[in-house]
């Protein structure tokens, strides 16, 4: 996974998406939509119930470089 480095005089924006229905289709749709909008995938965190292998929800983190502010 590629990480976005903070550039000199640049800022990094973060975006978090919560998925309450975790399927391969919902993950694919969310990642593809946000990447097409210029965001880079940073991380996916799955939340599971105890005793269950299937995730109850997922949080997806995206980043992108913000324009430098003078």
* 18-70 per-position pLDDT tens digit: 999 999 999 999 999 999 999 999 999 999 999 888 999 999 999 998 876 65
**pTM confidence score:** 0.78
CA dihedral 52, 54, 59, 60 (to 10 degrees): 150
Return d(Cα 56, Cα 41) in angstroms, integer. Answer: 21
Q: Can you name the residues that pair with 63 across neighbouring β-strands?
A: 14, 40
The closest alpha carbon to 40, from 10, 62, 13, belongs to: 62
């Amino acid at each position: 996974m590629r990480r976005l480095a903070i550039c000199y005089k640049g800022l990094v924006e973060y975006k978090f998406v919560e998925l309450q229905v975790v399927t391969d289709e919902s993950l694919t749709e969310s990642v593809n939509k946000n990447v097409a909008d210029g965001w880079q995938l940073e991380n996916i965190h799955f939340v599971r119930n105890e005793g269950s292998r299937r995730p109850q929800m997922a949080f997806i983190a995206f980043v992108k470089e913000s324009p430098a502010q003078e």
